[in-house]
Structure 1
Amino acid sequence: MSSNRRQFLNTLAVSAGAALLAEPAWTQGKAAAMPVSCNQYSWITFYAREGREWAADLDVSLSEFASTGLAAYEPAFTQVEQVNRLLPYLKKYKLVMPSVYVNSSLHQAEEGAKSIESVLAIADALKPADTKIIVTNPNPIKGGSDQNKSDAELTEQARNMDKLGAELKKKGMTLAYHTHDVELRAAAREFHHMLLATDPKNVSLCLDVHWVYRGSGNSQIALFDVVKLYGKRIVELHIRQSKDGIWQESFGEGDIDYPRLAKSLNDLNVKPHLVLEQCLEKTSPKTMNAIEAHKIDQVYLKKVFGV
């Protein structure tokens, strides 16, 4: 499952302790005021189950999105043209776009340079939308394989990520590192190195709660240790829930203790941008459509996070 989104898009404690002191530029001196967003990927999975394609008719798709009461949308981009195509529909349905998910490949020098250029071009195209957060999950060596990046490749990836974050900062944007489960393999060395080898002023964290949970063997211990280590770098949450390890149709009580997570972040005085991403997988229940599910998502989100 961790490669699906990509296919669609074509000294620890000491270092971590220092990272806790850093605060992303866009949160300094003020509380985050971004409305709750929803990622397009959750809608893609609901539409696919019905034999529909989200991108086939953005007018219809975003009208259904807006009908749920959601005010903010987090799409995924691979090229500038996709941004230009989307902007008129955001205006039509009065949707804002505080964050976006952008594909990247950063573990090889030449490919990394091209990827940085592409992301920065997309960032420039996003200026009319006043987007503040660029989320990226660097590509694995090969989607669906068990091959891990070498130490040299991780070093190159961290260098490129820091460079990208520094350039986005100049544009008034924050780069947020995102993971699936693959980055948690091999003692989570890719995940930790991306945070420990980058400057917190340049690279923040988009905590995809369930992928960290699943990637660590369905472990809340691992999830909350990540919050303890890197909590101050969290600028965004991707929110998903499961029951008995299976993704549910709507956000509610389940395997992950979200009230505890909300309290932990509040205790750190961290107010991340909240992004719903309650996706479906093959074994998910089948009792409601996307509109119904996303209305329910917002009710429980407000109960837990108060927004």
Structure 2
Amino acid sequence: MSTNRRQFLNTIAVSAGAALLAEPAWTQSKAAAMPVSCNQYSWITFFAREGRDWGANPDVSLSEYASTGLKAYEPAFNNAGEVTKLLPYLKKYNLLMPSVYVNTSLHKSDEADKSIESVLAIADALKPAATKIIVTNPNPIKWGSDLNKSDAELSEQAQNMDKLGSALKSKGMTLAYHTHDVELRAAAREFHHMLLATDPKNVSLCLDVHWVYRGSGNSQIALFDIIKLYGKRIVELHIRQSKGGIWQETFSEGDIDYVRLAKNLKDISVKPHLVLEQCLEKASPNTMNAVAAHKIDLVYLQKVFGV
């Protein structure tokens, strides 16, 4: 299986030296807007293919990012200090940050307490940016292994997820549960329990469309059944397309019927925050750079979702 976003996070560090802005006014008039965003992971994969490091020079990286026409950015944070370092660059390039991705480990009580404390500190640091959604994919027992959590660990994780969601809600933020393919193993018991054992008022869903598709054996039936079951809890989409099971360079027609997906969400009056995550893997085509690819992504996204 290709390397996923989480395995990159400990190597990503935003360049130091920029101080937190006293008056980040670039967010104030746009606080309620949630324009199309893109997760940093897709840019990490494009840069890595060119032998470049996305986090080495955020000024250069976000300059290229903004040149695509994207107006919002979804970074991943390990700690509150990384938020402080990023904010000045968002101001410089007039980028909003409606959502962010954070690490958590919630299936063991001692680790969960530390994770919750860290995420709440990140939430406080995000106040100047008017961020509304915090996305998390709780760690598996071990990345890359076939180990599944026990029932007791799943129960512990759900309780801690609900606790974190409640705390974020009190800060005016929404916790969105995210999955990779791991959570779809063993009758998708981890995925379902996280949604059935948590309060919808505290825990929403970030539907990573392709990981659900891939995790269920490349099944659109499973994907659309999940929308039937939990569609009302979807507050964000992570959007990626493949052809023949292989991630493509651009968002376009392919294995997943995104036109149907957009219609299904419209039919239930759900308007999620749209986040591109058109990542590369080893077998992906190699015909263009990140800027060119994301400009194409935005055109097709507008065609499908009308944004």
Q: TM-score range by the shorter chain?
A: over 0.9
Q: Deviations over 1:39-62 (max 9, x none)?
A: 000000000000000000000000
- Say whether the 8 Å CA contact 1:75–1:100 is kept in structure 2: yes
Are 1:60 and 2:60 counterparts?
A: yes
Unaligned runs of 5+ in 2: 11-31
What is the CA distance between 1:225 and its match in structure 2?
0.1
Counterpart of 2:153 in structure 1 is: 153
Give me the whole-angstrom Cα distance separating, in 2, the residues matched to 1:279 and 1:135: 18
Give me the whole-angstrom Cα distance separating, in 2, the residues matched to 1:135 and 1:33: 18
What is the CA distance between 1:3 and its match in structure 2?
5.3
Counterpart of 2:228 in structure 1 is: 228
Give me the whole-angstrom Cα distance separating, in 2, the residues matched to 1:78 and 1:192: 26
Counterpart of 1:104 in structure 2 is: 104
What is the CA distance between 1:37 and its match in structure 2?
0.2
- 2:38 aligned counterpart, secondary structure: strand
What is the CA distance between 1:253 and its match in structure 2?
0.2
Q: Deviations over 1:172-231 (max 9, x none)?
A: 000000000000000000000000000000000000000000000000000000000000
Give me the whole-angstrom Cα distance separating, in 1, the residues matched to 2:150 and 2:221: 27
Partner amino acid for 2:5?
R
Are 1:243 and 2:230 counterparts?
A: no
Please list, as runs of the form range in 1=range in 2, the aligned pairs for 1:42-191 lying within 5 A after superposition: 42-191=42-191
Partner amino acid for 2:137?
N
Give me the whole-angstrom Cα distance separating, in 2, the residues matched to 1:233 and 1:81: 30
Change (3 A) 1:206 1:153: same
Counterpart of 2:20 in structure 1 is: none
Change (3 A) 1:2 1:111: farther
Give me the whole-angstrom Cα distance separating, in 2, the residues matched to 1:284 and 1:9: 22
Please list, as runs of the form range in 1=range in 2, the aligned pairs for 1:272-287 lying within 5 A after superposition: 272-287=272-287
What is the CA distance between 1:38 and its match in structure 2?
0.4
- 1:112 aligned counterpart, secondary structure: helix
Give me the whole-angstrom Cα distance separating, in 2, the residues matched to 1:2 and 1:179: 15
Change (3 A) 1:3 1:113: farther
What is the CA distance between 1:4 and its match in structure 2?
2.5
Q: Deviations over 1:265-301 (max 9, x none)?
A: 0000000000000000000000000000000000000
Partner amino acid for 1:38?
C
Counterpart of 1:207 in structure 2 is: 207
Give me the whole-angstrom Cα distance separating, in 2, the residues matched to 1:9 and 1:110: 22
RMSD over equivalenced CA pairs, Å: 0.9
Change (3 A) 1:37 1:76: same
Counterpart of 2:254 in structure 1 is: 254
Counterpart of 1:41 in structure 2 is: 41
- 1:304 aligned counterpart, secondary structure: helix
Give me the whole-angstrom Cα distance separating, in 1, the residues matched to 2:3 and 2:87: 27
TM-score by length of 1: 0.92
Partner amino acid for 1:124?
D
Partner amino acid for 1:88?
P
What is the CA distance between 1:80 and its match in structure 2?
0.9
What is the CA distance between 1:2 and its match in structure 2?
6.5
- Say whether the 8 Å CA contact 2:2–2:282 is kept in structure 1: no
Give me the whole-angstrom Cα distance separating, in 2, the residues matched to 1:103 and 1:3: 16
What is the CA distance between 1:6 and its match in structure 2?
1.4
- Say whether the 8 Å CA contact 2:2–2:281 is kept in structure 1: no
Give me the whole-angstrom Cα distance separating, in 2, the residues matched to 1:46 and 1:122: 27
- Say whether the 8 Å CA contact 1:5–1:41 is kept in structure 2: yes
Partner amino acid for 2:106?
L
- More relative contact order, 1 or 2 (CA 8 Å, 6+ apart): 1
Overall identity of the aligned pairs, in %: 84
Structure 1: 4+ residue segments shifted above 2 A? 1-4
What is the CA distance between 1:9 and its match in structure 2?
1.9
Unaligned runs of 5+ in 1: 11-31
**Alignment size in residue pairs:** 286
